[in-house]
Amino acid sequence: MEDYSTLSGEETAAKLHSNTQHGLSSFEANNRLKKFGPNTLIFNNGKGPFTIFTSQLTSFLVIILLIASAFSFFFGDYLDAVLILIIIFINAFLGFFQEYRAEKTIEHLKKLVISYCLVYRDKQVIQVFSSELVPGDLVLLEEGQKVPADIRLLSTTNLYTNEAALTGESMPITKTVDVLKKILPIADQINMLFSGTIISAGKGLGLVVTTGGKTEIGKIANLVNQEAKTSTNLQLKLDHLGKVLGKVIIGIAALIALEEILVGKPIIQAVTSAIALAVAAIPEGLPAVVTISLAIGTRRLFKQNALLRRLTAAETLGSTDIICVDKTGTLTEGKMTVKQIYYNHTFHHLNIETNDTKLPKETRQLLKISVLANNAQKNDNGIVGDPTEVALISLAFDQGVEQLELSKQCPRVLEIPFSSERKMMSVVCQDEKEKLIAAKGSVEAILNQCTQIEKNGKVVALTKEDKANILKANNQMASNALRVLAFAYAKTNKQEVHEEEIEKGLIFVGLEGLFDPPRKNIKQSIESCQKLAGIKVVMITGDHLMTARAIASEIGINDRYITGEDLDKLSDGQLEEIIEEISIYARVNPEHKLRIVKALKSHGHQVAMTGDGINDAPALKAANIGISMGITGTDVAKEAADLVLMDDNFNTIVGAIKEGRAIYENIRKFVNYLVSTNLMEVTVILGSIILNWPLPLLPIHLLWINLVTDGLPAVALSADPPRKNIMHSPPSRFTEDILNKNSLKRLLLAGFLLSGAVLIIFSFYKNQLVHGQTMVFTAIVLYCVVRITVLRSRYQLSLFSNKLLSLAISISLILQLIILYLPIKIGNITLQELFKIQPLSISDWLVLLITGGILLITMRLITTKPLEKTTPTA
């Protein structure tokens, strides 16, 4: 692609077959729009409603249920067939609703460059959608506007842009029309504007050179598209669990059907038994309960200022063991404050919390220069402009130096804007009878232009010793995480001042060290992550190494460090060898961030990556959990992220991880609960078949148990609060299988204890079949409550710590009593006739309750082992 920054305006227009005075005609613009396409970015990760809905019906367990429903319908069991389908579609609609709502919420983020802009067409200025811009268009630009395309500037008026979203540079960039002598990096192309950046001040006129996917932002969007998002651990684990359960269920059901056929029973009876077993074994509510659990967790996260864009990403939060976090605005407050002043070889410290420090009168000249060499403006709404310049004016105002008063006394007549080559800016102001030159910039740049220094209000020659002291002060301030600016001035009686003379022979005044303070309690949060939760915190920033190290040390990140320049010297293999030793990355670019995330993932780490800029998007997409800033985050970053922080606060990430852990433990709890209770039902049916007893449960009983008695409490388990010591567990606990070996052993033991008790009860009542089936039906309803109580005790949770669970259990028991005793009719039949049950006597209830009490005590003694506290290290 042509590098237009090295071409003049006329040469650029010639290349684009355009005109620097009146741009394109409407006819030519329409032809180019057909050729180049709309000026929009395309993300390829959206899913339509039909795709979202059908994806809810593709799990292995749902397919088995669909087959079971078809068999029931074929053999005339229409009620069972319809009930199974109702359950399937309730689950499907729940999942569809949650995922579709999430898709719609982020739909607007894809319209990244849709806006209005002013453009010359047919020699007139008209307003068009930025999506209709084409290469060659002549565009007018003004303060506050988002740049709609990549543009070669033709003219500027005090034009500044904020390119932090694209380059990571937080300082405003002064734009000119000068032709560059050679191809430079994007951050140094001062005669170009780039799509997605913001015009922070001034006006400009330029030619559109690239649009859509060919712009610099478009290239990064393409990287986002190329970085495929893999399934989360939760999705993989649930899929694996479903397939294992499904295969076991199919195998057992087929063996039962074959066994009954071989012993001479009718095929219809054999198939009915097999279907009853399959329906009993399959946790129909599992997909819906998982979705509801994640939705509840999502609402909890939102209350903590964290917006989850993908439900299944909640589980990934819990298993995160490394957080790669950008410094500015996340670990820090994102606002600059002057913390230290160096004047007359003396440091003056400011209390940034109370702001009550009064500076000596001799520093007034320094404050005056900092206000004059400044483009921020104070108005009725406060001070607006670049955060650094706002901080300078704020300090001066607090010390009695008024910007408005100064601007009247010393009106500006000329400005030499800041540039990355010069690293300073200067202004010329008319001060009474003489002109005052005020300059600010990097310490080295200012010192190079100074020949004198102000000491105690007097101007004397600047000596080598003075320079050494100033440089030493600069290093001392930078090592304390301060961004240091130097200030100088000069006076002249010349009527005309030439730009090449302005910045020569300046008088050094002093230094100001600006600080972006760490967020409140950030050190404690990081310490909690690293020492208790086993989560390593890694700082990745575009800041200079000295600043990054100083901030890292202050907030408790102390480990090996590396710069982007050093990273460039390492191969991917070499980076992977040292990646786990590094906690501080400074002066990095988008490619570095992406390499870091991939290298960490190569070691099996679950990596969370925070970011706000367009340049962060590929790394956010590549991370296991991408976290975008909600306040400062760009649209591209939010599109790539799984989680959006509404307050841009690291402490919110810690809260989100805690909630993610709680979500995962709740999922493990209800999966354990559903599988163990379904195992009880299967074992009861299987045991009766092996013992040649009649079926103790009918399909309608099983569906009622699975939907009402299992389903309601399982959903309520999703609202369980986090256990008190959940952040003391290592991340590895939240990467284990949903049913690991130990939990499977406890599950099997609990299931066999429960089914054994039920079979013993049925053995006494099987000769009175309806009575016996009612006893078994009610026993299982009661013993599901026993199971959930025992299961939660392992997490040190009482029954009353979850009001929703107490309500769900109460509803399940009340509904069971209703179908047992109330003569409610559905059509011409009562509930008892529909369910083929009969009321139980007091003696029946005594048998069930005594047996349940024995089960509760036995399981608490045998299967319950409280989760121990752990103190992992990062």
CATH code, domain carrying 16: 2.70.150.10
| Global pTM value | 0.65
Nearest 5°: CA angle at 843, between 837 and 846?
Answer: 100
Identify the H or E element spanning 651: helix 650-690
Same domain, 242 and 216: no
Task: Give the pLDDT confidence score for residue 865 in this predicted structure.
Answer: 63
* 575 part of a folded domain: yes
- pLDDT band for 614, please (50, 70, 90 cuts): low
pLDDT above 90: percentage of residues in the chain = 31
Same domain, 754 and 793: yes
Task: Give the pLDDT confidence score for residue 250 in this predicted structure.
Answer: 79
Mean pLDDT of the 215-236 span: 65
Q: What positions carry a catalytic annotation? A: 326
How far is it, in rounded angstroms, from Cα 245 to Cα 248?
A: 5
Task: Give the pLDDT confidence score for residue 551 in this predicted structure.
Answer: 85
Same domain, 848 and 710: yes
Same domain, 535 and 423: no
* 523 part of a folded domain: yes
pLDDT of 555 higher than 50? yes
Inter-CA distances, 595 with 568, 615, 761, Å: 10, 13, 63
pLDDT of 18 higher than 80? yes
Q: Give the residue with greater pLDDT, 613 vs 343.
A: 343
Same domain, 430 and 370: yes
pLDDT above 70: percentage of residues in the chain = 85
Task: Give the pLDDT confidence score for residue 869 in this predicted structure.
Answer: 47
The domain boundary residue, chosen from 196, 226, 256? 226
Range of the domain at 535: 316-333+519-648
Same domain, 266 and 321: no
How far is it, in rounded angstroms, from Cα 615 to Cα 632?
A: 13
Same domain, 463 and 586: no
Q: What is the CATH number of the domain that holds 697?
A: 1.20.1110.10
Same domain, 469 and 370: yes
Same domain, 523 and 503: no
Pairing of strands 560-563, 582-586: parallel
DSSP state of 107: G
pLDDT of 512 higher than 90? yes
Q: What is the mean pLDDT of the chain?
A: 83
pLDDT of 453 higher than 90? yes
Task: Give the pLDDT confidence score for residue 223 in this predicted structure.
Answer: 64
Same domain, 604 and 725: no
Task: Give the pLDDT confidence score for residue 867 in this predicted structure.
Answer: 60
* 354 part of a folded domain: no
pLDDT of 574 higher than 90? yes
The domain boundary residue, chosen from 488, 511, 534? 511
pLDDT one-digit tens code per residue, 88-117: 777 677 667 655 654 554 444 344 334 678
Mean pLDDT of the 73-99 span: 71
Report yes or no: 191 and 204 within 8 Å, Cβ to Cβ.
no
Task: Pick the range with the lowest mean pLDDT from 484-493, 634-643, 746-755.
Answer: 634-643
Mapping DSSP to helix (H, G, I), strand (E, B) and coil, where does residue 346 land?
Answer: strand
pLDDT one-digit tens code per residue, 376-434: 877 666 776 677 888 999 999 989 898 888 988 899 888 887 765 678 889 999 987 88
Same domain, 705 and 832: yes
- pLDDT band for 248, please (50, 70, 90 cuts): confident
Mean pLDDT of the 696-714 span: 79
Task: Give the pLDDT confidence score for residue 695 in this predicted structure.
Answer: 84
Q: Which two tokens stand for residue 337?
A: 């404050």
- Hey, which residues does 458 pair with through a beta bridge? 455
Label residue 625 left, alpha or beta by phi (over 0 means left) and psi (-120 to 50 means alpha).
beta
- pLDDT band for 724, please (50, 70, 90 cuts): confident
Mean pLDDT of the 200-204 span: 79
The domain boundary residue, chosen from 210, 226, 242? 226
Task: Give the pLDDT confidence score for residue 309 in this predicted structure.
Answer: 74
pLDDT of 353 higher than 70? no
Q: What is the CATH number of the domain that holds 615?
A: 3.40.50.1000
Report yes or no: 415 and 160 within 8 Å, Cβ to Cβ.
no
Number of domains into which the chain is organized: 4
Tell me which residue has tokens 């057992």.
Answer: 252
Mean pLDDT of the 10-33 span: 93
Q: What is the CATH number of the domain that holds 500?
A: 3.40.1110.10
* 459 part of a folded domain: yes
Same domain, 685 and 782: yes
Task: Give the pLDDT confidence score for residue 346 in this predicted structure.
Answer: 92
pLDDT of 473 higher than 90? yes
* 165 part of a folded domain: yes
How far is it, in rounded angstroms, from Cα 422 to Cα 725?
A: 55
pLDDT of 761 higher than 60? yes
Q: Which of 53-57, 223-227, 461-465, 791-795 has the highest mean pLDDT?
A: 461-465
Pairing of strands 382-384, 434-441: unpaired
Mean pLDDT of the 759-782 span: 95
* 413 part of a folded domain: yes
pLDDT of 703 higher than 50? yes
* 89 part of a folded domain: yes
Buried-exposed string 492-516: b where 16+ CB fall within 10 A, e elsewhere: eeeeeeeeeebbeebbbbbbbbbbb
Task: Give the pLDDT confidence score for residue 46 in this predicted structure.
Answer: 54
Buried-exposed string 51-86: b where 16+ CB fall within 10 A, e elsewhere: ebbeebbebbbbebbeebbebbeebebeebbebbbe
* 350 part of a folded domain: no
Task: Give the pLDDT confidence score for residue 91 in this predicted structure.
Answer: 65
pLDDT one-digit tens code per residue, 626-669: 988 877 666 567 777 888 888 888 888 888 888 888 888 888 88
